[in-house]
Amino acid sequence: IGTQCPYRLGDRERSRRKLNLTMPRQFEEVPPTEGQLACSGVREDLKICLLESDCVKIHKKTPRQCLKAKDNSISQECYALVTSFFECKRSMLDNRTRFRGRKGY
């Protein structure tokens, strides 16, 4: 009625085994730990800097509220870390920087 396909499944399997061609095994990806995430060093320094500021300690505000209000009790070092963290996150979207790798931390 019809022509038979020259490559039957059984023939393929036999030829694969003769040549020892097997499919590569796939392994589960291990999720990165906290220290391996992108920009984790800058994030950690920023977190510590904000939690030690008077705005969080004395005024009992969240770090996000302190940054949005541009509170004077937050040091310039913290604002510099905010800028560094922003630059680090933005560099992850830039393909040239992604290829070359992150700078610093």
> pLDDT by residue (tens digit) across 25-43?
565 665 656 556 778 889 9
Is residue 77 situated within a structural domain? yes
- Mark the ranges of the chain whose per-residue pLDDT is less than 50: none
pLDDT attached to residue 77: 92
Res 12: pLDDT? 60
Assigned domain for 32 exists: no
Number of domain units in the chain? 1
**Domain contains 45:** no
Domain containing residue 84: 60-100
Cα 18 versus chain centre, distance: 43
Is 82 within a domain? yes
Per-residue model confidence (pLDDT) at position 16: 57
